[in-house]
Structure formats: C-alpha cells, structure tokens
Amino acid sequence: MPIATPDIEFLRDLIARQSGNVLRSGQGDLIEVRLRPLAAEAGLENVEQLVAELRRTKSPRLADQVAQAVTVNETSFFRDIHPFNALQSKIIPDVTKENAARRELKIWCAAASSGQEPYTIAMVIREHFPTLSNWNVRILATDISEKMLARCSSGQYTQLEVNRGLPARNLLRYFDRSGSVWTVKPELRNLIDFQRLNLTTSWPITSQFDVIFIRNVLIYFDQQTKADILRRALRQMRPNGYLFIGSAETVIGLNLPLQREEIDGTVCYRHLRG
C-alpha cells in the first residue's frame, strides 16, 4: 500500500527543513524506496512506522538520517568532461601564477557524493601539473550524507563504477585492484580532506578557495536557497576564483555578482568584486 498523502507531505516538509531539498508532491514512490532501508535499520516494519516514530519522538538524529537517505547521489568519474578540461588548460595554470608566492592551491567540491569528482580533480592535478608536488594542494570534499562521505574517504569503487568515465591509463596508474574492487592510491587520497556539511545550515569552513565546485545539487533547492548558498560560497572564494555549477543549472534571476566565462566548452563564473 502506498504511503498516505499526509505522511508524504509530512516527509516532504521535514526533508525541506533539514536539507533544503524540495521534493515534488508526486515523488512519494521515490521517498518510500529511499526510506525503506532506513526504516529497517531502525527496527521498524515499514515507512509508515518510520513516520509515526518521527512524529512521536521528533528525533533530530532520525530526521537528519531521513534527509540523507533521500539525497540523490548520482555521479561518475570525469562527469561532463569539459570542466576538467578547463581546469587543465586555463584555470590551474592561471591560479598557479596568481599563487606563486604562497605556493598553495585550494579547491572545494561541495555535494561530493561518493567521491568521483574530487578524485577526478586530484588526477588532473597529478597527471598534468607535476610542479605542484611541492605545493600545499588541498581538495575539500563535503557532503550531507555520512554514508557517502565514508565511501568517498575509503576510495573504493566497483568495476562498474570505474568503467563509467575513467580512462584505462588513469585506472592503472592511480588505483590498486583487489578482486572486483579498485582502491584509490594514497597519492590521490592524501590530497583530499573529507567533511560532512549541509549546504543549508552553517558552514564550519574557514579556508578560502581558488576553485569551488557546486555541481548538480542546486536544482534541488528553491531560488532563495540557491542564492543564499551561492552568496556564502562567494565569501569562501579568493579574489579571481572560479565557480562551477551543473550544466543544467543557472544563476539567472539570482542577482549575484558573478561574471560568466566560457572555457573549453564549459561555463564557469568569477566573482565580481566591488
């Protein structure tokens, strides 16, 4: 039996408050599929009992787990290849010239999911910029989901996952194989810091970044939330830094001090500082 409409609306409201993720009213089936495993982990028979438990206890921990469970975690290595081409051809060369005195490069991947994006960036750096080996190069990978961050930090991927977008030469150079599992080598993993972060709440981040990736996540937020997230992201960006959002996402109508640039077939944005 499908979840009752009042329960769906309760869950939609809870998820929006916890994560900013605005689900359509017709996504009841998606919600139920995503929450069944969580209900089972909590010792409950079905999602209806999970909703009853949430209503009864108002548990912040359980509410947070619900928001994490429905988060979409679709990703792949070198997804939408053009941003990584732009990093290689122009952005990292420009940033390294700008940062030559302090010898530091910092990149933030928000909504990093299971880690393919930050590891892809690490491969670009190691493959094409060997002179940065003695720089302070840090990639921050954040996500709302504790499970996804655990996968990200483990650096372990199935054969199917490495087959999606990862060139064979990169696979052989930067991964070790054990049976059907491929594990990222320390050469890449040591470049990345992992931290749980909800984009719609306070950010315990003090660093300033040269490049920020917030790709394929803004589509789940309303306009006001998108604008707030991007304004805060700009405050974490160094002068002349670069911002990437998803190819299907836009900043139109958000009234942000951003300059649109096209590099190697992709669009990115730079902060217009007054």
How would DSSP label each residue in 37-62? HHHHHTT-SSHHHHHHHHHHH--HHH
Using one digit for the tens of pLDDT, what is the confidence trace for 213-229?
Answer: 999 888 878 889 899 99
Cα–Cα distance, 53 to 57 (Å, whole number): 6
Task: Check the CA dihedral 95-97-99-103 and report its sign.
Answer: positive
Question: Left (φ > 0), alpha (ψ -120 to 50) or beta: where does 207 sit?
Answer: beta
Using one digit for the tens of pLDDT, what is the confidence trace for 194-215?
Answer: 999 999 888 989 899 999 999 9
Q: What angle do CA 124, 129, 133 make, to 5 degrees?
A: 110
Number of neighbouring beta carbons within 10 Å of residue 100: 10
Cα–Cα distance, 181 to 174 (Å, whole number): 13
Cα–Cα distance, 15 to 21 (Å, whole number): 6
Whether 264 and 86 have beta carbons less than 8 Å apart is answered as yes
- Residue 59: both structure tokens together: 């548990």
Whether the pTM exceeds 0.85: the reply is no
The residue behind tokens 């409950």 is 44
Number of neighbouring beta carbons within 10 Å of residue 2: 10
Cα–Cα distance, 66 to 39 (Å, whole number): 9
| Structural domains of the chain in order of their starting residue, each with its CATH number | 5-69 (no CATH), 82-271 (3.40.50.150)
- Residue 55: both structure tokens together: 């209503």
- pLDDT at position 238 is 92
Averaged over successive runs of 10 residues, the pLDDT of the chain (274 residues) comes to: 78 76 72 80 83 84 77 77 95 95 96 92 96 96 90 92 91 93 96 93 92 89 90 92 90 89 91 70
Type of residue numbered 118: P
- pLDDT at position 245 is 93
